[in-house]
Structure 1
Amino acid sequence: MTADVVIVGNGALGLSVAVETALRDPALRIAVVGPEPRPGSASVAAGAMLNCFAEVTERTGDHPASRAKFALAREAARLWPDWPARLAEAARHAAMPVGRARGTLVVLGARSAGDGVGGMRAIRAAAEEHGEPCEDVDPYGIGFLEAAAGDQPVDALYLENEGAVDARRVLAALDAAASGLGVTRVADEVTSLVTSSAEDAVTGVRLASGTTLAAGAVVLAAGAATGRLIERLPPGMVQPMLNGTGVALETERVRGEAVPYVVRTPTLVGGCGLHAVPLGEKAEYLGATNHVLLDAPTGPRLGIVQALLAGCVAQFDRNIAFSAVRRWHYGLRPVTLDTFPLLGRAPMRGLLFATGTYRDGFHSAPAIARHLAGLLTEDAPAESDPYAVFAPGREPIQTMTVDDAAERFAEMALLVATERGMKLPYFLDTEPIAAAGRRLARECVERLGVPVALAPEILGAVSEAGADGVRQVAGYLSASSSGAPASRADGAGRKGVLPAGRAHGG
């Protein structure tokens, strides 16, 4: 079997890239490869919040990569209102409802530390700078929330243009759109890439069934599962992919009012914040956890599930404790070593990436699809790439010093302990805990053998990793810093990335 474009991954990103590319060039033969059950898929488990400004933190404007990530989120927010209609048109349907909930209320609980306070301040500042509607709300007058004593909101703001969609309905709409556009679906798993050493290029994929699928271009959009394919690339070429474990649940209200719109806490150091998303008919989606690991675990940690449930009941609404559980969701987020996405052309010709989006894949899908479709079908010289900072062949982006990273790791340790009810004896303060966190962070850097500043959750993953996992990351860092991997740009300035004679089945 041969295709012009093979997209590895059938989640929100992979299907969005397929749909957008097919809409731009209907003559292209496009195949999407992925098992139908989508095991471990972050897309299936997602709360699918369409939050851009609600994700802003004090550090959003500190580094060019952080600003580019915010620009990507803003572009996605601009595209989302028309995206469902675009999918419906592609699927030949008059309407494709995606269960959109409008509005997001960001609340800051009484137990929140300085990171949450700074986040609220940053959200307001960003909204004002960009003219985004943002309304202060009386935190003591939110009628549908009854937080526990000591956890009541002390600050709240409402973003009317943000909200959420139903992830499962959007995936169904993407499936229908792909079918309507003639995209081939291959219910299989990619085990390796087919490469041509003479041309230093990727020419297809091998499937678990033993079949080889030849392609003019291969797009890796398989989320956390992309890590298995990255491991087969030359050492140091692309940074390893980690697993951000997330667990959430759907519930049905028995007592009290279901939230009328998204309710969430600010994004905190090392975490994603709590959130409740309305699903209609008294149903709510409660999430989410964030635990980054080098290797995919067999399931969520019991203590993390306990913390999620306790947090929603205490910080949002005590009545949630009476809700009936309808379904659990568990998925693996794709997290890169530097926590920024892998977007665009890889150093090997014919290979592109659309993954590593951490918590933002669902929201960013329309913008990432637009970007990748442009690279596949249009003149897109590298110098005009607005997301060149996320090129897959880059060295890890460092937004702070090693000492700053250790301090941030200590902050994360204190935040987690505080939110989980830490109580210290009268003769102790928090400094011993912070000092232990700093020491552990520095020990992790020493284990890696390269002085690299990593985000707190990545340092946490290194601290829990075994010797083999640490060697893998250390090997990548050593190879990438030595300049060992190939770094040739993939076809900058050409018409798309499809080799001559391969496009449109030529």
Structure 2
Amino acid sequence: MNSNGGPEGRRFDVLVVGNGALGLSLALTLTRRGQRVALLGESHRPWAGSTAAGAMLGCFGEVTTSLVASDHGRAKLELGIEATRMWPQWLAELDEETGGGDSIKTADGTTLILNTIGIPEIDDANFAAIRAELVRYAEPFHDVDPADLDWVDSEPLSRPLKAFHIPGEHAVNPVALMERLESAFTTAGGTVITELATAVVHDRDRVTGVTLANGDSISAGQVVLAAGARTQTLLDTLPVGPRIPKLVSGYGVSALVKTVDGTSPSSVIRTPNRSFACGLHVLPRSQGEVYLGATNVISSEPRDIAEMRDLVFLLQCAHRQVRRNLWDSHVAKVQVGNRPVSVDGFPLLGDGGMDGLWIMTGTYRDGLHLSPLLAQEMTARILGEAPRAALAPFTPVRPPLQAWSRERIVEDVVHHTIAIGYEQDWKIPVEWDGWIENDLRPATLSWAEEIDPEFTPPPELLFLSRQIPDLAKILREYYAASREGAGAAAR
């Protein structure tokens, strides 16, 4: 159950609930500072996002026109830029504390491709936005002739039109990273408790620990909820829960593939984000083995089994758009992960609104990349020190953040819906996509108004809430609770 002794009869300074990349990084950073820390989570990490991630260490490749169109989006980007700068030292410290071993870095830089899949309103616009932000922040990059992409051999109808390389955005092996983090944590004196938390224990407005699935309780002066998409289950046990944006899952499927020719690219190869999801990305995991990722499907609950259609979509995208002979390669492993997504689309970071409660989740696709920075910043806050990074925009106890107008969100839904069709190679008469757009726009606007007269969820949540009644219910209840809470505060 435990390492470094059991928790019975012990009171910890800090209990970190969640043993993914964020929880591990925070637990290690706190332990380095002399805190008695317990890290809580089942060893096989069900529902986690980290274990199935491509673990790309970059933020510019994730830029979209929507992200940089709001102050909150730009604040998130700037956190990502700062995190990128921290990774070399972070990895060096882990090597020193654990004795090193094989390098956990798997990819040298990131190559962005703009191919013939998708639509200009998304793919061309996001490709241009990434370049613009690289220039804005003076981040090195250089153009690459698509003909010189030595590992890219897409089918002709999916060929790349443009490409550039970002030398500063790498990737790591997430499983090896978490093994090294846990080793450093226990070596420093931390305690690992391999149990599932079912509730947060509190006395009035003071959090005192958690209850485990086996009936035991663990006490601590400070409790940090960093359990990814499953954090919502714990927030539901607290009186402050309704005042915090609800969490849902960004379920995704990835695959490890043994290439038929025994080769792998040296860098990450990816497209811009599109179709309500992350861009298609292929990256080396080891010699002759590649990681494939692309999917993101909003789900009201975390999932642990891949849907067949998502796996088929991923494999077809990879061999059509990146390398044709992947079709003859061998799928070594299918992975499922759950990204924690708040219903307003932004992280939940900081004071949880009760004494002794901290929240560190809702990071969507950026949790692993942000982990060194957020570990440092949350440690400073827990220890009462002056923080460096601005996390205030993402304080957990907040009304819904409305970063974009309803009109812009509706337009995004329309464009991404059309893009799904093109990415899945639909065959329609030329004029039909215009007709579909004309029907989608008023239907989507009507649905947004039906969800709530004031608040509009991010595009992917608005889109899927039409198909998932539970998600629509979550949104309606959260907006109603937020409005009621605001009214009570005004009184």
When the two structures are superposed, what TM-score results if normalisation uses the length of structure 2?
Answer: 0.93
Equivalent in 451, 454, 460 of residue 457 of structure 1: 460
Q: 1:95 to 1:255 in 2, by over 3 A?
A: closer
Report the alpha carbon displacement of residue 111 of structure 1 after superposing the two structures with TM: 2.3
2:57 aligns with 50
Q: 1:335 to 1:160 in 2, by over 3 A?
A: same
1:102 aligns with 108
Matched, 1:478 2:480: yes
Matched, 1:230 2:235: yes
Report the alpha carbon displacement of residue 484 of structure 1 after superposing the two structures with TM: 5.3
Q: 1:335 to 1:256 in 2, by over 3 A?
A: same
Equivalent in 207, 210, 213 of residue 202 of structure 1: 207
1:442 aligns with 445
Report the alpha carbon displacement of residue 241 of structure 1 after superposing the two structures with TM: 0.7
Distance 1:482 1:238 in 2: 13
Distance 2:275 2:347 in 1: 18
* Conserved? CA contact 1:250–1:286, under 8 Å: yes
Report the alpha carbon displacement of residue 253 of structure 1 after superposing the two structures with TM: 1.2
Supply the AA of the counterpart residue of 2:228: G
Supply the AA of the counterpart residue of 2:400: P
Equivalent in 407, 412, 417 of residue 411 of structure 2: 407
Distance 1:365 1:96 in 2: 21
Supply the AA of the counterpart residue of 1:430: D
Distance 1:368 1:108 in 2: 32
Report sequence identity in percent.
Answer: 34
Equivalent in 4, 7, 30 of residue 13 of structure 2: 4
1:59 aligns with 66
Supply the AA of the counterpart residue of 1:409: V
Equivalent in 273, 278, 290 of residue 272 of structure 1: 278
* Conserved? CA contact 1:97–1:169, under 8 Å: no
3-state SS of 1:398 partner: coil
Report the alpha carbon displacement of residue 407 of structure 1 after superposing the two structures with TM: 1.4
Distance 2:451 2:220 in 1: 37
Indicate the larger mover: 137-146 or 254-263: 254-263
Distance 2:471 2:255 in 1: 30
Report the alpha carbon displacement of residue 309 of structure 1 after superposing the two structures with TM: 1.0
Matches within 5 A, 1:327-476: 327-380=333-386, 386-426=390-430, 428-466=431-469, 468-476=470-478
Distance 1:436 1:209 in 2: 53
Q: 1:443 to 1:17 in 2, by over 3 A?
A: same
Distance 2:119 2:336 in 1: 28
* Conserved? CA contact 1:144–1:256, under 8 Å: no
Q: CA RMSD in A?
A: 1.9
Distance 1:278 1:486 in 2: 53
Distance 1:41 1:238 in 2: 21
* Conserved? CA contact 1:88–1:177, under 8 Å: no
Matches within 5 A, 1:189-338: 189-197=196-204, 200-234=205-239, 236-255=242-261, 257-268=263-274, 270-297=276-303, 299-338=305-344
Distance 1:441 1:35 in 2: 40
Q: 1:205 to 1:96 in 2, by over 3 A?
A: farther
Distance 2:308 2:441 in 1: 26
Supply the AA of the counterpart residue of 1:441: T
Q: 1:485 to 1:337 in 2, by over 3 A?
A: farther
2:84 aligns with 77
* Conserved? CA contact 1:84–1:96, under 8 Å: no
1:495 aligns with none
Distance 1:61 1:425 in 2: 34
1:491 aligns with none
Q: What number of residue pairs does the alignment pair up?
A: 478
Report the alpha carbon displacement of residue 95 of structure 1 after superposing the two structures with TM: 4.7
Q: 1:100 to 1:259 in 2, by over 3 A?
A: closer
Q: Deviations over 1:61-82 (max 9, x none)?
A: 3212111101110111010011
2:4 aligns with none
Supply the AA of the counterpart residue of 1:479: A
Q: 1:354 to 1:37 in 2, by over 3 A?
A: same
Q: 1:118 to 1:362 in 2, by over 3 A?
A: same
Report the alpha carbon displacement of residue 85 of structure 1 after superposing the two structures with TM: 1.9
3-state SS of 2:148 partner: coil
Indicate the larger mover: 223-232 or 55-64: 55-64
Distance 1:247 1:43 in 2: 12
* Conserved? CA contact 2:230–2:302, under 8 Å: no
Distance 1:440 1:328 in 2: 36
User: Which portions of structure 1, spanning 4 or more consecutive aligned residues, are displaced by more than 6 angstroms?
Assistant: none
3-state SS of 2:327 partner: helix
